[in-house]
């Protein structure tokens, strides 16, 4: 059993293969957090917590004569608010009488076999693994708010999931102003925070900083998980490395506005609260109704590598759904950087012919294929093929591409609309625009209000019609601007604070309907590149376009940062032209291929302009990737270099699940004259097995891991090298 209740001590204990999570119901009915870390059995960890009179930390009324007892210093599972705990809180609400406080105490709990689900929201599912659920119910008797804290425990995966259901148990309306998914307390220790910031074309840049006293806030209010702050954060011991040290990872499965608050308080205790961003959030909770928060995936491990492996495993096996989650992903070519808007059937056919010759399996037609779409000023919303560009129609083009042995994929941006479109002229109120205010524009487009049912049906029917009418096996779903002027012309004034979250409930429902109706279609997420790279989207899109920046040297850092929480099978990565369109950098084709092989592999350039030698090299790259894909996508991934090394090189390694094969890749970012040799210790091999290294020599796995490998001098413009390490006995 993964979940136990010890009645004598009123402990609730959650256990995975290597971790323990403990909470305790105290004599006052408060649900205290006791421990999360390495597995420790049934020991009552309350001995760790000494109570003291903390002066200005106040006391609950029924403990008014005991100044040692204060919510302001107590580690809690989900906080009360407005009643004496002055740290970051988990929830905030207001009642019909205007009061803004609530004090939650234990009411009941239940232990269930299987994993809970969340109505309307993506969540980790059981699949081939087993899980148990703990539901702890808390109640505030004055505000009549009941909270069900749900914990999903995955023993084999070493993962715990968390969500909260907030219920109006009274007869008056309650307004939620904050509804977080999780509170986690770390009362002891010295911690660093690793977060993943960025911008368009430079997403998920890793940054490690020590916590200082105060509140660290990582948030997006852009209507998407964003390029700027990914909804994933790590707390680790000051001394933690890839191999050792306490590491805690918290990943929110949500694609909209999010916020993580990390407070190092006056008593050196750390509290982490994460969930929907409460800025401009307000949810009307009528009597007998409830609100479900997005799910958090939580894991702790010894070292950053082990933590990453746990997140990679749960996302690959228990987040991603459908036939593509562990199977072969077609090698594709996308025409965007080859043609941009200047496309026509002749160009596309010639590009597809070259692609078929080198072994590409899927042709993706990007932006510009529909009527009035000669630039980004018009056309979004009217998904009708442009017969000037495609005189034989979309079906005629697809027939030609299929005849070459290629599958066909299509780019769409269904959540958007141009003012110059038939859709906008017919339904201007379907766009998000604030009354009496000129809207903010981005890429000359507005956002459709998915919180409206008629908009939901329009988008679903549009995509369903395309997938029914045409032989499309792949959809690249783009989202090229943030949400601003968030206002629904169909919602009453008091409920405008619900619009953004209702937008995502509608989007997830569209995705759910489409993926079930068209299970053969591979969906790739995109939001100006990696602006919606999150576990929520990965429930429906097995891969996400990692960044609009296709420069391989820039991609090294982007993909390195992404790897801390997300598996490489989720990373859309393409070989593009040189000089690169975003940076102007010149790089060898071999290096571009090496970097793109750390992901869902493809191409994005004009093949008709390449030499026969370059095309032959690409043909070899494709054959090599197809051979290695099972290991790359489903094996173990190791970071062999750190950000401190990035000024000289990046190195990473894949190891097959059975340790029979490994691939080590290195890219030199700054060749130095008379420099020390690059020497790396490999990871994850069978120490007792003998391996062939690039067919040059044979050696024990223990030698490669303990003594390492010294690379030959790599010179020139961004040289790269790959080591094939194959078990021979």
Of 67-71, 237-241, 428-432, 654-658, the range with the lowest mean pLDDT is 67-71
The single residue of 614, 617, 686, 724 carrying the catalytic annotation is 614
- What's the pLDDT tens digit per position in 172-227? 999 999 999 999 999 999 999 999 999 999 999 999 999 999 999 999 999 999 99
587: nearest Cα among 719, 723, 721: 719
Neighbour tally for 220: CB within 10 Å: 24
Output the CA torsion sign for 678, 684, 686, 688: positive
Which ranges of 484-639 would DSSP assign to H, the alpha helix? 499-517, 535-538, 552-562, 589-596, 612-634
Question: Is pLDDT of 43 > 90?
Answer: no
Strand (E) positions, 397-438? 407-412, 416-417
**Cβ neighbours for 81, distance < 8 A, ≥ 6 positions apart:** 89, 90, 91, 92, 93, 100, 101, 102
- What's the pLDDT tens digit per position in 309-366? 999 999 999 999 999 999 999 999 999 999 999 999 999 999 999 999 999 999 999 9
pLDDT for the residue numbered 422? 98
Here the contacts of 320-327 (C-beta below 8 Å, separation 24 or greater) are 320/538, 320/539, 320/542, 320/569, 320/570, 321/125, 321/515, 321/539, 321/540, 321/542, 322/515, 322/519, 322/542, 323/519, 323/520, 324/522, 324/542, 325/542, 326/633, 326/634
Neighbour tally for 113: CB within 10 Å: 11
Neighbour tally for 317: CB within 10 Å: 20
- What's the pLDDT tens digit per position in 500-532? 999 999 999 999 999 999 999 999 999 999 999
Q: Using an 8 Å Cβ cutoff, are 684 and 653 in contact?
A: yes
- What's the pLDDT tens digit per position in 368-394? 999 999 999 999 999 999 999 999 999
Domain 643-727, CATH number (from 2.60.40.1180, 3.30.1490.20, 3.40.1350.10, 3.20.20.140): 2.60.40.1180
Rounded Cα gap, residues 582 and 571, in angstroms: 19
Rounded Cα gap, residues 229 and 494, in angstroms: 29
**Which of the four pLDDT bands, split at 50, 70 and 90, describes residue 53?**
low
11: nearest Cα among 47, 49, 46: 46
160: nearest Cα among 77, 45, 53: 77
Rounded Cα gap, residues 587 and 716, in angstroms: 10
Question: Is pLDDT of 141 > 90?
Answer: yes
pLDDT for the residue numbered 111? 98
Bridge partners of residue 653, in order along the sequence: 638, 664
- What's the pLDDT tens digit per position in 647-697? 899 999 999 999 999 999 999 999 888 788 899 999 999 999 999 999 999
pLDDT for the residue numbered 52? 64
**Which of the four pLDDT bands, split at 50, 70 and 90, describes residue 61?**
low
Question: Is pLDDT of 51 > 80?
Answer: no
- What's the pLDDT tens digit per position in 589-634? 999 999 999 999 999 999 999 999 999 999 999 999 999 999 999 9
Rounded Cα gap, residues 498 and 84, in angstroms: 28
273: nearest Cα among 491, 138, 79, 562: 79
Between the alpha carbon of residue 521 and those of residues 323, 333, 410, 524, 603, the distances in Å are 9, 16, 11, 10, 20
Helices (H) and strands (E) in the chain, counts: 12, 38
pTM of the model: 0.97
629: nearest Cα among 668, 669, 602: 602
CATH number assigned to the domain covering 332-634: 3.20.20.70
233: nearest Cα among 294, 178, 184: 184
pLDDT for the residue numbered 504? 98
Q: Using an 8 Å Cβ cutoff, are 258 and 180 in contact?
A: no
Q: Using an 8 Å Cβ cutoff, are 278 and 140 in contact?
A: no
Q: Which two tokens stand for residue 262?
A: 């990390």
Annotation: CATH topology of 3-318:
Beta-galactosidase; Chain A, domain 5 (2.70.98)
Rounded Cα gap, residues 415 and 423, in angstroms: 12
The single residue of 534, 548, 551, 604 carrying the catalytic annotation is 534
Phi, psi of 24 (to 5 degrees): -145, 140
Percent of the chain with pLDDT over 70: 99
Q: Using an 8 Å Cβ cutoff, are 108 and 76 in contact?
A: no
140 is a catalytic site residue: no
Output the CA torsion sign for 394, 400, 404, 405: positive
**Cβ neighbours for 79, distance < 8 A, ≥ 6 positions apart:** 71, 85, 87, 88, 89, 90, 91, 104, 183, 273
Phi, psi of 681 (to 5 degrees): -90, 125
- What's the pLDDT tens digit per position in 21-39? 999 999 899 999 999 999 9
Q: Domain residue spans in the chain?
A: 3-318, 332-634, 643-727
Indicate the pairing of strand 232-237 with strand 246-252. Answer: antiparallel
Q: What is the DSSP letter of 431?
A: B
pLDDT for the residue numbered 72? 87
pLDDT for the residue numbered 64? 73
Please report which helix (H) or strand (E) contains residue 350, including its range.
helix 345-358
103 is a catalytic site residue: no
């Amino acid at each position: 059993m993964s979940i136990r209740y010890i009645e004598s001590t009123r402990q609730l204990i959650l256990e995975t293969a290597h971790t323990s999570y403990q909470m305790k119901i105290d004599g006052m009915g408060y649900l205290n957090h006791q421990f999360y870390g390495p597995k420790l059995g049934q020991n009552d960890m309350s001995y760790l917590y000494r109570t003291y009179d903390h002066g200005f930390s106040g006391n609950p009324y029924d403990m008014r004569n005991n100044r040692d007892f204060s919510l302001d210093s107590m580690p809690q599972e989900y906080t009360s608010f407005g009643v004496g705990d002055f740290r970051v809180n988990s929830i905030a609400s207001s009642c019909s009488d205007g009061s803004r406080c609530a004090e939650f105490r234990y009411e009941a709990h239940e232990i269930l076999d299987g994993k809970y689900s969340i109505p309307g929201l993506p969540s980790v599912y059981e699949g081939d693994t087993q899980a148990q659920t703990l539901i702890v119910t808390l109640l505030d008797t004055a505000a009549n708010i009941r909270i069900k804290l749900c914990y999903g425990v995955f023993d084999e995966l070493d993962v715990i999931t968390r969500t909260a259901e907030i219920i109006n148990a009274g007869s008056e309306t309650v307004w939620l102003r904050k509804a977080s998914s999780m509170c986690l307390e770390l009362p002891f220790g010295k911690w660093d925070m690793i977060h993943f910031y960025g911008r368009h074309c430079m997403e998920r840049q890793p940054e490690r900083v020590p916590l200082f006293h105060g509140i660290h806030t990582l948030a997006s209010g852009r209507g998407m998980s964003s390029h700027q702050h990914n909804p994933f954060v790590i707390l680790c011991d000051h001394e933690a490395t890839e191999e050792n040290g306490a590491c805690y990872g918290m990943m929110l499965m949500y694609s909209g506005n999010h916020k993580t608050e990390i407070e190092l308080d006056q008593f050196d205790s750390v509290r982490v609260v994460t969930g929907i961003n409460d800025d401009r959030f307000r949810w009307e909770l009528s009597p007998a109704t409830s609100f479900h928060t997005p799910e958090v995936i939580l894991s702790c491990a010894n070292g950053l590598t082990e933590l990453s492996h746990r997140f990679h495993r749960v996302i690959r096996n228990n987040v991603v759904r459908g036939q593509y989650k562990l199977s072969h992903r077609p090698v594709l070519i996308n025409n965007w950087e080859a043609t941009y808007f200047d496309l026509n059937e002749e160009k596309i056919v010639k590009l597809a012919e070259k692609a078929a010759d080198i072994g590409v399996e899927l042709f993706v037609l990007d932006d510009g294929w529909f009527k009035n779409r000669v630039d980004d000023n018009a056309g979004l919303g009217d998904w009708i093929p442009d017969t000037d560009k495609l005189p034989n129609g979309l079906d005629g083009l697809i027939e030609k591409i299929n005849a070459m042995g290629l599958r066909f994929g299509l780019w769409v941006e269904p959540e958007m609309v141009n003012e110059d479109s038939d859709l906008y002229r017919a339904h201007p109120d379907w766009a998000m625009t604030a009354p009496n205010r000129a809207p903010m524009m981005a890429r000359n487009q507005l956002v459709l209000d998915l919180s409206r049912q008629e908009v939901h049906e329009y988008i679903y029917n549009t995509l369903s019609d395309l997938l029914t009418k045409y032989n499309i096996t792949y959809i690249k779903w783009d989202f090229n601007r943030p949400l601003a002027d968030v206002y629904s012309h169909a919602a009453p004034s008091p409920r405008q604070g619900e619009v953004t979250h209702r937008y995502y409930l509608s989007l997830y429902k569209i995705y759910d309907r489409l993926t079930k109706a068209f299970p053969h279609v591979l969906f790739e997420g995109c939001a100006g590149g990696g602006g919606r790279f999150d576990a929520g989207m990965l429930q429906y899109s097995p891969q996400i376009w990692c960044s609009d920046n296709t420069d391989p040297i820039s991609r090294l850092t982007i993909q390195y940062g992404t790897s801390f929480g997300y598996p490489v099978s989720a990373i859309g990565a393409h070989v593009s032209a040189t000089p690169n369109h975003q940076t102007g950098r010149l790089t060898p084709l071999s290096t571009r291929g090496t970097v793109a092989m750390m992901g869902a592999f493809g191409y994005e350039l004009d093949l008709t302009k390449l030499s026969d030698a370059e095309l032959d090299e690409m043909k070899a790259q494709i054959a090599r990737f197809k051979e290695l894909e099972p290991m790359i996508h489903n094996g173990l991934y190791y970071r062999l270099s750190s950000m401190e090394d990035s000024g000289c090189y990046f190195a990473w390694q894949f190891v097959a699940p059975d340790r029979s094969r490994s691939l080590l890749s290195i890219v030199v970012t700054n060749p130095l004259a008379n420099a020390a040799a690059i020497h790396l210790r490999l990871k994850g091999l069978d120490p007792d097995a003998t391996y062939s290294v690039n067919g040059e020599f044979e050696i024990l796995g223990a030698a490669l891991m303990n003594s390492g490998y010294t690379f030959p001098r790599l010179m020139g413009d961004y040289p790269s090298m790959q080591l094939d390490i194959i078990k021979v006995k």
